[in-house]
Amino acid sequence: MSTPKNQTNSKLADFRVLMKFRIISLLLLTTLIPMYLANGGEWPKFYIVVLTLLGGTLAAGGANAINMFYDRDIDAVMSRTKKRPLPNNRLTQWEVLGFGLTLSVLSFLVLLPVNLLTAILAVSGIFYYVVIYTMWLKRTTVQNIVIGGAAGAIPPMVGWAAGTDINLFVDSPIKWLPAVFLFAIVFYWTPPHFWALAIIRREDYAKAGVPMLPVVKGEAETRRQIVLYSFIMIALSFMLVSLQVVGLLYLGLAMVLGAIFLYYAANMMRDHSHAAAWKLYRYSLLYLALLFVAMGIDRALLG
Ligand code: HEM
Ligand SMILES: CC(C)=CCC/C(C)=C/CC/C(C)=C/COP(=O)(O)OP(=O)(O)O
Helices 116-127 and 46-70: angle between axes, nearest 10 degrees: 20
pLDDT of residue 257: 98
Contacts of 299 (CB under 8 A, 6+ apart): 36, 37, 41, 245, 246, 250
- CATH number, domain 172-303: 1.20.120
pLDDT of residue 88: 95
Q: Residue 96 half-sphere exposure, CB side, CA atoms within 13 Å? A: 24
- On the question of a common fold for 7-166 and 172-303, the answer reads no
Distances (CA, A) of 135 to 21, 128, 139, 140: 22, 10, 8, 9
* Minimum-distance ligand 1 atom for the alpha carbon of 186: 27
Spatial CA neighbour of 66 closest among 87, 93, 90: 93
Query: How many other β-carbons are positioned within 10 Å of the β-carbon of residue 45?
Result: 10
CATH fold for the domain made of 7-166: Tetracycline Repressor; domain 2 (1.10.357)
Residue minimizing CA distance to atom 30 of ligand 1? 27
pLDDT of residue 1: 47
Q: How confident is the model at residue 5 (pLDDT cuts 50, 70, 90)?
A: confident
Asked if residues 249 and 208 have their Cβ atoms less than 8 Å apart, the reply is no
CA angle, 273 then 278 then 279, to 5°: 100
Spatial CA neighbour of 67 closest among 101, 117, 90, 112: 101
Site to substitute for ligand 1 among 16, 17, 18, 23, most atoms within 8 A of C-beta: 23
- Write out residues with Cβ below 6 Å of ligand 1: 22-23, 26-27, 30, 80, 133, 145, 148-149, 152, 186, 190, 193-194, 197, 285, 288
For 167-178, what is each residue's pLDDT tens digit?
777 777 777 899
**Taking the chain, what is the end-to-end CA distance rounded to the nearest angstrom?**
60
Spatial CA neighbour of 57 closest among 134, 155, 153: 155
Mean pLDDT of 90-107: 98
Mean pLDDT of 72-97: 97
For 249-283, what is each residue's pLDDT tens digit?
999 999 999 999 999 999 999 999 999 999 999 99
Q: Which of 37-41, 71-75, 175-179, 275-279 has the lowest mean pLDDT?
A: 175-179
The residue extents of the domains of the chain are 7-166, 172-303
For 50-60, what is each residue's pLDDT tens digit?
999 999 999 99
214, pLDDT greater than 70: yes
Mean pLDDT of the chain: 95
